[in-house]
Amino acid sequence: MFFAYIKDNRSFVSVKKNKLEHINSPADLKKLKISELPDLAKEIRRFIIDIVSEKKGHLGSSLGVVELTIALHYVFDTPNDILVWDVGHQAYPHKILTGRRDVFHTNRQYGGISGFPKRDESIYDAFGVGHASTSISAALGMAIASRLKGDLIKHHIAIIGDASIAGGMAFEALNHAGVSNSNILIILNDNEMGIDPNVGALKNYLTSVKNRKGVHKTSLCDEQDNIFEALNFSYSGPIDGHDIGVLIAELDRLKTIKGPKFLHVITKKGKGLHQAEQDQITYHAPGKFDKITGDIYLNKHRNSTPKFQDVFGLTLVELAKQNKRIIGITPAMPTGTSLKYMIEEFPERAFDVGIAEQHAVTLAAGMATQGMIPFCAIYSTFLQRAYDQVIHDVALQNLPVIFCLDRAGLVGEDGATHHGVFDLAYLRTIPNMVIFAPMNELELRNIMFTAQLGLDGPIAIRYPRGRGFIKNWEQPFKKLEIGKGEVVTEGDEIAILSIGTIGERIKGVVKKFPEGTIAHYNMRFVKPMDISLFNKLFKKFEKIITIEEGALTGGFGSAILEFANQNNYKNIIKNIGIPDQFIEQGTIEELLQLVGLNEASLYETIKSFLKD
């Protein structure tokens, strides 16, 4: 193959120096000369930096694909030709070029545009994303559908990172796509990073590909030495993902090739902002920063209460020093879960397995069969991806795997794809599973301590994103009794049963009522339930309220209703939690108010229930 610049024969109109303000669609983009596109790329980077520095968001990924995004919309006939972005962290340039520039300042805000591609937001967002490794399957499905409808002209492009392509689902789709004879192009955005640095043998393979000579050849080696050619893809690359001319030339060439194609593109995460290039982990989503210097603003919480993820991570190290059988496992989230502390302290006993939730769960199961004590740290929303492994490989065999579910409940600006609101419901149906939700940092520490002492089966511990409530949290461990709740506040008129950290918010609400009115119980365990305590309070109170930061359908409140029905109790029960709908993005406080779980709403609901 060749990589000469193509002749610039598109039609043009003259534009002002500020090119971005005149682009409201890819049609406007195509009016520019290729020679003008590098300046446009600079404008887009500055625009992203200006907005994200104030509004926060995913910075590094989007800065790294500006030229690639421009080239894709310049060459292909979007939205007729279809782009599917894997995960979507890198989709900001795509949104800016497809009619959302003037509303980009609302990105990830309540009532604003989503931080991820979303089908009902734009016709240019062909497939909704948020979780990894889905793009190839989705694009292939679209390509096969086009072929079946007789459309052999439409192009279907999946843009996937070198972290996501290591996910099992991506490999399943590659296996199918290679023999599909469909018009699909897979673009590997290779920047050696996910949120954290990539790991594993595929990462090492891609590094070796980039280090070989003859970079600008279609095939770097014999087919048997190139994994993608061996899977029947027409492979090209690696090419410079920041050279717009080269990108356009190669994309134009690939448009003429039939069947499955694979383009390997090299980019730099954080491109254009020095700090983001140098510290790619921090600047993946840096929060607010100085748009001129790039420096992150000092954290006002520096001397505040700890993050729950840090309580988990530091407590795990503390326990691992005492118990050599403890193992730490996470699928590509060592920083997000704070398993990084154990990786630093005990690298031989802590494993980042990449974007591989299914593997992480069954890996933990295998270790448990050999007497190890695996702590499997996964975001609540990502454990959904390993549901079968939780059932088949762990619970069915009653193996003592300790699941630590970070980001449980509402997570804020990441929105519907990332809220961890389904875990109580989807785990509660599984036999042998213990489910615990700590009300504060001390309970998280104590249940971790209790679990590593030895359980008969698996346990899921779910805790939220963000900070806790107790500065002096590193207190001596206490063993907790499995399946036992506690009384927080005594009362005589209404009983409130809470699960998890929302119990701390309820403490403040209870204080607004006359003393002795509201009894508050911190149930701790969704499974097994504290049957003895339930029988006592069902006999004492006519009215009972359950409160959870989780899905009402099938959740903690449902368990209480089932108990009442099974025991023929006729109490008046009100369930408060997340309604049966997907909750969009916003600050956590905005979303709590939306679903009626903020203090003011809880107060009004309880007051009304008292009067009824």
- In the three-class reduction of DSSP (H, G, I as helix; E, B as strand; rest coil), residue 425 is classed as helix
Quick check: helix, strand or coil at residue 599?
A: helix
Beta bridge partners of 307: 467
Task: Report the interhelical angle of 556-566 vs 531-540 (nearest 10°).
Answer: 70
**Is residue 269 annotated as a catalytic residue, yes or no?**
yes
Q: To which H or E segment does residue 586 belong? A: none
Catalytic residue among 67, 192, 229, 357: 357
Nearest to 537 by CA among 515, 518, 558: 518
Distance CA(305)–CA(57), nearest Å, equals 23
**Tokens coding 588:** 């956590």
Token pair, residue 112, equals: 């604003």
Query: Considering only CA atoms, which of 107, 91, 94 is closest in space to residue 50?
Result: 107
Q: Which positions ≥6 away from 80 have C-beta within 8 Å?
A: 154
Count CB atoms within 10 A of the CB of residue 81: 20
CA 469 to chain centre: 25
What is the layout of strands, in order, in the sheet containing 261-266?
A: 82-85, 156-161, 184-190, 261-266, 234-240
What is the rounded CA–CA span in Å between residue 114 and residue 99?
A: 14
Buried b (16+ CB within 10 A) or exposed e, 516-528: eebbbbbbbbbbe
List the beta bridge partners of residue 574.
Answer: 545
- How far is it, in rounded angstroms, from Cα 112 to Cα 106? 5
Rounded to 5 degrees, φ, ψ at 506 are: -65, -30
Q: How many CB atoms lie within 10 A of CB 541?
A: 19
| Block residue for tokens 């309580």 | 311
Spot the catalytic one: 100, 108, 253, 385: 385
Using alpha carbons only, what angle is made at residue 515 by residues 512 and 517, rounded to the nearest 5 degrees?
90
- Assess contact for 478 and 445: CB atoms under 8 A: no
43 is catalytic: no
Active-site residue identified among 45, 95, 203, 269: 269
Is the separation of the CB atoms in 340 and 313 below 8 Å?
yes
Strand pairing class (402-406; 350-352): unpaired
244: DSSP letter: H
**Hey, what are 443's tokens?**
């309970």
3-state secondary structure 539-579: HHCCEEEEEEEEECCCCHHHHHHHHHHHCCCCCEEEEEEEC
d(CA 406, CA 437): 11
The two structure tokens encoding residue 216: 């600008």
Our CA angle for 373, 374, 377, nearest 5°, is 145
Q: Which residues are catalytic?
A: 269, 357, 385
